A and B are shown apart, each in its own frame.
Chain A
Amino acid sequence: MTGKRIYMDHHSTTPVDPEVLESMLPYFTEDFGNAASRSHSFGWRASEAVECARERIASLIQSTPQEILFTSGATESDNLAIFGVAEFHSGKGKHVLTCRTEHPAVLDCCSQLAKRGFEVTYLPVDSTGRVSPDDVREGIRSDTILVSLMAANNEVGTLHPVAEIGKIVKERGVLFHCDASQAVGKIPINVEEMGIDLMAFTAHKLYGPKGIGALYVRKKAPRVRLAAQIFGGGHERGMRSGTLNVPGIVGFGSACEIARRVMPEEASRLAALRDRLHERIAQDLEAVELNGHAKLRLPHNLNLSFAYVEGEALMLAMEGVALSSGSACTSASNEPSHVLKAMGVSDEKAHTSLRFGLGRFNTREEVDQVATQVVESVKRLREISPLYEMAQRETRGIHAGNLG
């Protein structure tokens, strides 16, 4: 590896903000107490730190601290929300409504539910990746107990009309779970205005540590009841047993506090950088297409298809740049991204997709460097692509011969 590495895969994870790390350190060594220890100051200090973090996290999403429940991450939060609601409310009905473009943390839970006698409806999306509120309205049945929809898609960044859907779900008296892993700390999230009853999110997507997440569980109007899935000590009001990850929780709290402070400025800075990256690439390359919604998407997301060039080979050609692709050259099934597929993107085009996820510490120089590398690499790979040759020949109107 030569030169500096550039990280542009912030939908996958983010580095811990140094300020966040700083805040966590005392809780590994001096203040290492168990937050459940009621009999000494080590425990009290830990417990205080946890409650302070809970307040900071709550204030980022406009909930009360009592509605925040700590888990190991968004996947566990999704599991607790979906299985917890399904188990508690199965007497009322056994139907769950979700969407084809959800993260596997939701989709895999739903397919488990299907094995346990539940029925799951997977709503389609339009070509930009958005679910239609009308489809949600029509999809809710008398036996529907839960609607689970993400706030922002992790691949194409498309934002669902969450507030509108929250209203519809509420009117029908059904619970609304939202996986907001990609959205919290990136765009304003207000659980009241959005009518969200349960919400999964995690620290490591917003410059906090890995291994700590939260589930927001609404306390009033309605008071959401769910069955615990992990037992052993009754922590978190019996909803999630297990010794609290105090340093992680403290870091999560600091990360949310920073996000609340910097979000508006950061979002517009990253959107400008993202647009610069897109423009630079598009001005030097033909046949580049945007996947997702041009406006209603996360400010730091850019998902592009580079016709005639396979995504993995392209990522590899861009030495030192960390990106992600919707191609699936290594998976046994060789199935490309289920999200792009649901949006009606052809398999061939899905194999050519690249996801850029910009982040807090990316600079304009890095963006320009990545744009240059993308352009060079795509040009080089197109030179050795049989698809590009065929397309060129077609545009020149020359008979394709036996290669066609």
Chain B
Amino acid sequence: MPAISGEPSKRVLEHCASTRHAGGLDPRDPAVGTGMAGSAAQGDLVRIQLHVEGGEIQAARFKAFGCSGSIASANLACEWAEGKTLSEAERIGQADLASALDLPLSKKHCSVLAQEALRQAIRDSRDKAASSSKEQR
């Protein structure tokens, strides 16, 4: 049976114990952008959703199927994204998440997935905003 190497970091444990940003937003809402990364077969699937008003992220929510590192990375990415503009949130990077959570190298992919899901959600938010402004015109 594959071993879990070492105890998870304190920061990871804190985020897993209180997943303040866990949840879902209505994907049919034009103000909500959704991003997904990973796959269940590989053991990690992360979804991040953003509620955007006037280019600013009002709320960020995640759902994750994955190990503690993925859950913590997604929760932290949402925490950081809230209150930021889409362009600011786009700069939230995998390396920053990993170092803030003390992720070991073996869990680097967890922070990569959170970054990917977040950036996809940002792209989706922009696409939706662009298509709704077209409709308005």
Contact = CB atoms under 8 A, between A and B. Distances in A.
Contacts of A326: 1-2
A386 B16 CA distance: 16
Interface string A283-325: 0000000000000000000000000111011011100000011
Contacts of A383: 22
Contacts of B8: 316
Interface stretch (A14-22, A188-196, A204-212, A328-336): A328-336
Contacts of A91: none
A389 interface: yes
A384 B43 contact: no
B127 to A, nearest CB: 11
B136 interface: no
A325 B63 contact: no
A384 B63 contact: yes
Interface stretch (B51-59, B65-73, B92-100): B65-73
Contacts, number: 108
Contacts of A402: 27, 34
Contacts of A337: 1-2
Nearest to A400: B27
Nearest to B64: A384
Contacts of B5: 330
Contacts of B69: 329
A27 B63 CA distance: 57
Interface band, chain A? 35 or more
Contact of B107 (A329, A351, A384, A388): A329
A401 interface: yes
Interface in B1-51: 1-5, 8, 13, 16, 19, 22-24, 27-28, 34, 36, 40-47
B109 interface: yes
Contacts of A331: 2, 106
Contacts of A12: 1
B43 A310 contact: yes
Interface residues of B, number: 38
B34 A387 contact: no
B1 A355 contact: yes
A386 B106 contact: no
A317 B15 CA distance: 11
Contacts of B4: 312, 315, 325, 329-330
B71 A384 contact: yes
B1 A312 contact: no
A328 B64 contact: no
A385 B47 CA distance: 9
B97 to A, nearest CB: 16
Contacts of B40: 347-348, 351, 387
Given A325-B1, A401-B28, A385 B43 contact: no
A155 interface: yes
B42 A334 contact: yes
A403 interface: yes
A310 B39 CA distance: 12
A346 to B, nearest CB: 7
A154 interface: yes
Given A329-B43, A331-B2, A313 B68 contact: yes
Contacts of B43: 310, 327-329, 334, 336, 347-348, 351
Contacts of A385: 63-65
A325 B43 CA distance: 12
A262 B4 CA distance: 33
A324 B4 CA distance: 9
Contact of A327 (B2, B28, B106): B2
Interface string B95-131: 0000000001011010000000000000000000000
7 contacts: A154-B1, A312-B68, A313-B71, A325-B4, A329-B44, A339-B1, A351-B41
Interface of B: 1-5, 8, 13, 16, 19, 22-24, 27-28, 34, 36, 40-47, 62-71, 104, 106-107, 109
